[in-house]
Amino acid sequence: MPRLFTFLLSFVFFYITPVVVFAAEQQKPPVIVADPLSAGNILQLLLGMVGVVVLIIGLAWVFKRMGGLNTAMGKELRVVGGLSMGARERLVLVQVGEKQLLLGVAPGRIQTLYELQKPIENPAQSVDQSGSFAEKLAVSMKMVAKK
C-alpha cells in the first residue's frame, strides 16, 4: 500500500502538475515589462530606502527615550544614572530594591565598586506616579524650567 501511495504521489507531482501549469501559462495574456532603470522605478527604490532608514532611526530614538524594553522588574531593578569614563568604560549607578550600587563597566567586565548607604534621590523618581497626565506634565515642566 505505501508503494502505491508513493507511486501515485510522484505521478501527480512529476507528470500531471507540469501539464496543468503549462496549460495555465498558455492562457495568460502577455505581460509588458517596464524598463527597470526608468526614473519612476529608481525614485520608488530610493524613497523606499530612505523610508527604511528613517524608520530605523526613529525606532532607535524611541527605544532610547523609553529606556529600551521595560520588564516586570522595571521598578525593582533600574539604571539611575551613568557617566562615561573613557572610550569604552563607564560608571553606572543601579537601583536594586532599596539599595544603590555603583558599578564599573568595561568591555567584558562589570565590577561592583561601591554600595551606597544612603540612596541618591533622582528628581525623575520623585514625580508622583499616581497622578493624572496633566499633573505629571506640570511637574515635568517645572523641573525643566528650573534647569
- Phi–psi pair at 16, nearest 5 degrees: -85, -40
Same domain (yes/no): 27, 86? no
Domain of 134, in residue numbers: 71-146
Give pLDDT, residue 61.
86
Q: Which residues contact 112 (CB under 8 A, 6 or more apart)?
A: 101, 102, 103, 104
Same domain (yes/no): 61, 2? yes
Same domain (yes/no): 54, 65? yes
For residue 80, give the amino acid letter: V
23 is written with which cell numbers? 496549460
Same domain (yes/no): 41, 63? yes
Same domain (yes/no): 22, 63? yes
Give pLDDT, residue 56.
95
Give pLDDT, residue 2.
67
Torsion of CA 83, 84, 85, 90, to 10 degrees: 80
Give pLDDT, residue 97.
82
Same domain (yes/no): 55, 87? no
Give pLDDT, residue 52.
95
Q: Which of 69, 96, 117 delimits the end of a domain?
A: 69
Give pLDDT, residue 37.
83
d(CA 109, CA 139): 38
pLDDT digits (tens), the chain, 147 positions: 567 777 777 777 777 777 767 776 666 677 777 787 888 889 999 999 999 999 999 999 888 877 655 555 556 788 888 889 888 999 999 988 888 999 999 999 999 999 888 878 765 555 455 667 788 888 888 877 776
Same domain (yes/no): 60, 125? no
Same domain (yes/no): 76, 141? yes
Instruction: Identify the CA nearest to 46 among candidates 37, 34, 59.
Output: 37
Sheet with 109-116, edge to edge strand ranges? 77-84, 90-96, 99-106, 109-116
